[in-house]
Amino acid sequence: MVERSMPLPHQPAPHAGPAASRRTASARWPHRRAYAALDLGTNNCRLLIAKPEGDGFVVIDAFSRIVRLGEGLAATGRLSEAAIDRAIAALTICADKLRRRHVTLARSVATEACRQAVNGQAFIDRVYRETGIALDIISAEEEARLAVMGCHALLEPGDGPALIFDIGGGSTELVLIDTREGHPHIRDWLSAPWGVVSLTESEPVAEDSDAARLDAYARMKRRVSDSFARFAERLPLGEMEGIRLLGTSGTVTTLASLHLGLTSYDRSAIDGLIVPAQAMQQISTSLSRMSIEERQRQPCIGVERADLVVAGCAILEAIIDIWPAERLGVADRGIREGILRLLMARDK
């Protein structure tokens, strides 16, 4: 678990697409080069390729695949050969996209799984040999900062303190920010060692009865709550009026899809959505009672997420317990968008 303060450079807010800004794009960006951000996490491999436009950017290509790089890591301390093969297969597709889109500036990062694995660096070296992609294993601090930079513009307006969180595969980042100066100032942060993969493997969900499933779910929540305890003690409880909450992860986007009753995932309906926190808690409790077969039949969950979504629900409920905002903002953006903004700002 990592806790300490850190600075956050001011970055322009994401571009909402007004016509006036689009007309000035060519003046601000005379060459319109392609930039790329790749995020290899414990569970997912994600790529964005974009070109600048106005004060933001337009995505021209994207890729996402569940690779479960951290599968079995908690038990062995190593990335398994099967997980490595899955990740390299996905990264090979990314490398082809980078070439075909003529990307001139890119950054590729790896997070918790590679930070923890004893063979993490050997994996990074193999990726470079086989795909040409140079992965940078970033710290938990930088991971949290990039996530905030990528999604903070979706916070509800207001002057109250805000908590931004990112539920990953191997860790969860919590970042307390203040926006009274017009841009996010990080007041405190935590990287807890529980993500959907690591928590699922540490607290397997029993499938034989409702009681057994609820007991496993309660153990998950206690484990996460214990890891949040010191951070929770430092939260500004005297400033709770007007607090805001924003989440970026597959967990919150999946639960938001269930809240809307979507039959298939629709990013345009989810990114920027504000939902009642209580509704997300109710969905979490409902999913925790279901068997894995029942979860597989839920729209926007399916086979790939059915065994991991309960751990994500436990983490989300533990977050709402320590930061009881009435509403939850949902972001389908984060580290990759933060990387793109940094690349473009430095190259401008």
Q: DSSP states of 50-95 as a string? A: EEEETTEEEEEEEEEEE--TTTTHHHHSS--HHHHHHHHHHHHHHH
Residue 250: predicted pLDDT: 92
96 and 207 in a single domain? The answer is: no
Task: Tell me the residue range of the domain where 113 lies.
Answer: 9-140+336-347
Q: Which residue numbers in the chain have pLDDT < 50?
A: 3-27, 29-30
Task: Say if 82 falls within a structural domain.
Answer: yes
Closest to 168 measured CA to CA, from 145, 202, 148, 143 = 143
Instruction: Give me the count of residues in the chain.
Output: 348
Residue 1: predicted pLDDT: 57
Strand ranges (E), 97-205: 105-110, 135-137, 162-167, 172-178, 185-192
| Total domains in the fold of the chain | 2
187 and 64 in a single domain? The answer is: no
* Domain CATH number, residue 108: 3.30.420.40
Residue 212: predicted pLDDT: 87
287 and 175 in a single domain? The answer is: yes
- Whole-structure pTM over 0.85, yes or no? yes
Task: Say if 180 falls within a structural domain.
Answer: yes
Residue 31: predicted pLDDT: 59
Task: Say if 1 falls within a structural domain.
Answer: no
231 and 315 in a single domain? The answer is: yes
Sheet holding 327-331, edge to edge: 2-3, 185-192, 172-178, 162-167, 244-248, 327-331, 274-276
56 and 135 in a single domain? The answer is: yes
Task: Say if 36 falls within a structural domain.
Answer: yes
92 and 170 in a single domain? The answer is: no
Residue 88, amino acid: I
**End-to-end CA gap in the chain:** 36
87 and 180 in a single domain? The answer is: no
Task: Say if 147 falls within a structural domain.
Answer: no
130 and 212 in a single domain? The answer is: no
* Domain CATH number, residue 259: 3.30.420.150
Task: Say if 340 falls within a structural domain.
Answer: yes
